[in-house]
Structure 1
Amino acid sequence: MSDSFTGEDWYGEELVDRVFTEATFSDVDLTEATTRGVVFDRCTFHNCRFNASTHVSTAFIAADFRRCSFFDATLEGCKLDGSVFSECVLRPLKVAGGSWRSVTLRGANLAGLDLSGLDLRDADLSMADLTGAALRDARLDGAAVREAVLVRADLRGASLGGVDLREARLEETRLDLPGAVHLAEVYGAVVEP
């Protein structure tokens, strides 16, 4: 039987090396909480507050986040592979590395976030607002960017294999030479030395 936590106050709690599997968290206050080496495997978070919380080397694997607030939270070296975010507050948010493979952030407001070096392979960023976001050296191979706003975003050094930038809104988007070549090839150009 899976654990269920409803309306609990975990304000400022410190969780270390815990494992939660298929647990449900509803209206749980994790404001200023700290997790280190914790694994949340296929857990559901609804209406939870992660405001000003810090998560270090914590894994949220295939988690379902709905109407959660991560205002001023820190995610350092965290694994969010396969997780889905719906109607969540994700700004401001500090991200330092980690793996967000196949994460779903459809329509998310990620404007101005520094996601440099993040592994976002196969992520769904459709309709996400990445205005002014830093994606330097991020791994974006296979990511969906349909109707994503990449205005003034920094994609220098990002790997873009299989990414169709024609589906995104690009204005003043910063690309390095390999990124510019990729964009030209997406539009049908033949790039020769």
Structure 2
Amino acid sequence: MPSLIFDLDGTLIDSVPDLMAAVNRLLAAEGQDPMNRSEVQSYVGDGAPVLVRRVMAARGLPTDRHAELTGKLVADYTARSSELTRVYPNVRDVLAEFQQRGHRLGICTNKPGAATEVVLRALGLDGFFDAVIAGDSLAEKKPHPAPLQAAVAALGSPALYIGDSEVDARTAEAAGLPFILFTEGYLRVPLREIRTTTTFRNFDELPNIVAGFSVRA
């Protein structure tokens, strides 16, 4: 019975609306024009400091303000991180089914820990997970394998990783785990460039996929 470790943003939840709102509040305070969803979405997935660095580069803001602006964005986003964010269809039912089957469940995300806790609680997902490794839980972030390895250590082997992006694929490969790609998330490169074990479009497909791994394990 494998442990199941999930990415968060773009995998279990669509968080770009709240991230975009936070980015645009930051830009407005700096006298800058807002960004649209596609631009903000292309910047997410590598953690808040990288998101802010990309936003600053796009608007020509001075690099020596990176720490300041990152702090402002993280504080603002954490306080309002579940206003517009939504859980993808069928996620709650599928997580409950996995729990009933006896799978241990975890999160491995680059989102800061405080925001992760707020979002999981606000969206009613906090009761599903036995381990949560966030973007500031360790010194390293994905695609470094250490966060995913920490989740496996907490939950037990064998384990599968479920995510939506090239960052998740690289993390799973580095950690030596099978990778299941949710194709409706925030993938920034063509699907053909991603090394996956298998893919799915809707969460109601996932139990049968995982059951196949359980039989082989």
Structure-1-length-normalised TM-score? 0.27
Structure-2-length-normalised TM-score? 0.25
Q: Which has the higher helix share?
A: 2
Q: Which has the higher strand share?
A: 1
